[in-house]
Amino acid sequence: MTDLAYFSEAASTEVVNARIDEGKADPRLAAVISALTRHLHAFIKEVEPSHEEWLAGIQYLTKVGQTCTDWRQEFILLSDVLGVSMLVDAINSRRPSGATENTILGPFYVFDRPMLENGASICQDGKGEPCLVTGTVRDGDGNPIAGAVVDVWQTNEDGFYDVQQKGLQPDGNMRGAFTTDADGRYSFRTSKPRYYPIPNDGPVGVLLEALGRSFNRAAHIHAIVSATGFDTVITHIFEPGCQYLRDDAVFGVKASLIGDFKRTVDPARAAALGFGDAPFFWEVAANFVLTPATGAQRLIHQV
């Protein structure tokens, strides 16, 4: 029988996990750490890193930590580009078919966004091609949900969120929250979303570059849709013409979230909608379907 007091390559996992005191450790913590040990040791046994390679890995993770500030979370970004954020979200957002799917939250949501009237514009800088977003919020049986909040944000035409360009963009540019009417309807004006790079001037950017991977997020509008008695949906509306739909840096694209953007050439209607003398505008209908509250709500954090 293997003596688990002493380390050996063959029994490494068992030796480490045998030290957990089942009487003292929280059972979930014990389960998580023993699984982590098992997978980490299997990884090392597969890769067989040299000392230099292991040190390079440790130094890389150290840099990831050192890049984190009050407003930047490089570890979450690393989790995003490795597909881990999307996997954790998929496991925690299993919904019946027909319900709106979740996708990645991203680091640029802010709680302090303007509550706006339906039909209002979130585009304060006037850049980009005008776009009208309309839709409904309904339950799984098709009943409209009145009083639901559709909270949206996106980059401006230059590919930056307002919080990335304080002083350059007006605060609250390209964000706003809208409340559905008695028929479950909401609408807002914006500009057509465009692709943009995730923050790539840190260790995550170095890794993506070394792997020959794209930095870009497929063009999207973020939405958090919430209503009393329903699970909150954290999702996107993707632009179907974007060249990065199949190469999104954080794997956020799901087929059901690709919108049907139509280009409408109608200067009179554009003017009536509030798009001034725009010769054309884009239109997309984004309908959300919520599921009854399960209590398994995601904490929306800001880093």
Sites of contact with ligand BEZ (CB under 6 A): 77, 80, 104, 106-108, 198, 217, 250
**How far apart are alpha carbons 185 and 166 in whole angstroms?**
32
- Binders of Fe ion among residues 147 to 186 (CB under 5 A) are none
Choice between 198 and 286, CB closer to ligand BEZ: 198
**How far apart are alpha carbons 180 and 150 in whole angstroms?**
8
Residue 258 contacts which entry, ligand BEZ, Fe ion, none (Cβ below 5-8 A, type-dependent):
none
Minimum Å gap between C-beta 299 and ligand BEZ is 17
Nearest to 156 by CA among 186, 120, 121: 121
Choice between 29 and 303, CB closer to ligand BEZ: 303
Is the sign of the CA dihedral 12, 18, 24, 26 positive or negative?
A: positive
Minimum Å gap between C-beta 246 and ligand BEZ is 16
**How far apart are alpha carbons 87 and 33 in whole angstroms?**
19
Choice between 106 and 176, CB closer to Fe ion: 106
Q: Is 289 exposed, middle or buried (0-12, 13-18, 19+ CB in 10 A)?
A: buried
What are the CA-CA distances from residue 120 to residues 189, 196, 223 (Å)? 6, 25, 16
Choice between 106 and 259, CB closer to Fe ion: 106
Minimum Å gap between C-beta 85 and ligand BEZ is 7
Residue 107 contacts which entry, ligand BEZ, Fe ion, none (Cβ below 5-8 A, type-dependent):
ligand BEZ
Binding flags for Fe ion, 91-110, as an x/- string (CB under 5 A): ---------------x----
60 Cβ contact list (under 8 Å, min separation 6) = 203, 207
Minimum Å gap between C-beta 61 and ligand BEZ is 18
**Closest residue by beta carbon to ligand BEZ:** 106
Minimum Å gap between C-beta 196 and ligand BEZ is 8
Tally Cβ neighbours within 10 Å of residue 211.
9
Residue 80 contacts which entry, ligand BEZ, Fe ion, none (Cβ below 5-8 A, type-dependent):
ligand BEZ
Residue 189 contacts which entry, ligand BEZ, Fe ion, none (Cβ below 5-8 A, type-dependent):
none
